[in-house]
Structure 1
Amino acid sequence: MTNINSISGNTKVYAIIADPIHHVKTPAAMNDLFSARGEDGVLVPFHVAPEDLPTVVAGLRGIQSLEGFIVTVPHKTTIVDLCDSVTEAARVVGAVNVVTRTKAGKLHGDILDGAGFVAGLRQAGIEPKGLSAYLAGAGGAANAIAFALAEAGVKRLTIANRTAKKAQDLVERIAASFPAVELSVGTSDPSDHDLVVNGTSLGLRPGDALPCDASKLTSNQIVAEIIMQPAITPLLAAAKEVGCRVHQGLPMLLCQIELMAAVMASK
């Protein structure tokens, strides 16, 4: 991790914004990367409630030593309207999870959740191309993952969300960009899919409901998480019980760290 004794007035500052913040692994991973590369930078966690986000972002614009910040649950969709510009990917997905700041205080947003998730799968030897995938969730991270899975070549993608209208909206937006993918709005039943993905925050807090009906899982399925803490969520625990191959949330983060560092370094 970055040596705090080496931080000076020349150190480039980055932040991660979340609510809650206790579970985030990004600061340690990013600071390790800065140290490994010999870069004079530090990333710090900011616990920001939704109602305070506009005020905090307005303040960040004026911090001259701030290079940018990472955005996670529950701010990924709200932050879009607080940026001065966003990438085409972020516009289509409707979410942002990395923001760079110009010297003039302008904020530019990008979305790397999907790219990081797919890269993590491939790093583990799981190739999405040709698979049928079930995705629980239609929020910021789930949007990015849905588009990334479609781009990676899944043959069929089912989106399930507590609010069916949000799932339908996501299906329609994916269809406009990837008409070859078979798309549908699903239920809580994840059966008959090769890959089952939790793209929600369910499992982050003790007592959370499961993101799908785990009793329908079968041993030939791969079950993947985006949650990093706990490493084995209740969904992954249930999947292991029936013999599924499980894929934890950490690889998504580690792959995103490299992508985020590249985005911030290229601004």
Structure 2
Amino acid sequence: MAKKKTQTPPSLSELFEGYQKGLIANLGISRKLITHPVAKGDATELRWIKMLRTYLPTRYQVERAFVIDSDGTLSQQQDLVIFDRHFSLFIFEHEGVAYIPAESVYAVFEVKPEITPKYIGYAGDKAESVRRLKRTSGRIVQAGGDVHTPKPPPQILAGILALDCKWKEPMGANFKGYLQGLSANRALNLGCVARHGAFEITDATPTSFTWDVSRPDTAVMSFVLTLTRLLQKMGTVPAIQIEEYAKHL
């Protein structure tokens, strides 16, 4: 009787590569077969949202959302928001669109089928509409009774996610130049072009601009790992000052 062959378990790189191929295939199907622009955009956003919900630690929530502050000022609608539910309340949800308090936001992303100068500008504008919002910071009482001094809100991360990039050199000088043109609250920190690479802005000053770009075959998981590292570095978002929101009642 022939012995059964022992199956070799997949390596970590094979698991990552398999998921990336699946995401690219699904994004490509949505782009090719869904003709209505709104439906196509919705399908693309949901693919990225599902991916991040799968891989990010469960402390981070992911939704398509508007961001609102305690003065009632509203951001532009964000394709993808990463936010906290531990120290922050959830304002409102209707027909799949959430309204999230500014204090709870870790990161926002613009999601598009491909990278273009116009879409990079959109991503910067949407990031600015969130970063300009008022954020409160309340005191936290721990189980042991310690009261922590309110922490200053961290800088909200912003980026762009896409399937493709049509420039001759997809992750080259043109892309980098448009990113460099975004400054202050419009600046992007990271992103992913699933077919070509992930990027992280590592230095952005008036005199220099540096980014790290991954290999095409590791784009998706490089992005996830970079995002997770940056989120860990941010720590916990500040506790919301409930009384600032309650004053509208």
Q: Same fold (TM over 0.5)?
A: no
Comparing both chains, which one has the higher relative contact order based on Cα–Cα distances under 8 Å and sequence gaps of 6 or more? 2
Query: Which has the greater radius of gyration?
Result: 2
* TM-score of the two chains, using structure 1 as the length reference: 0.31
Higher strand share: 2
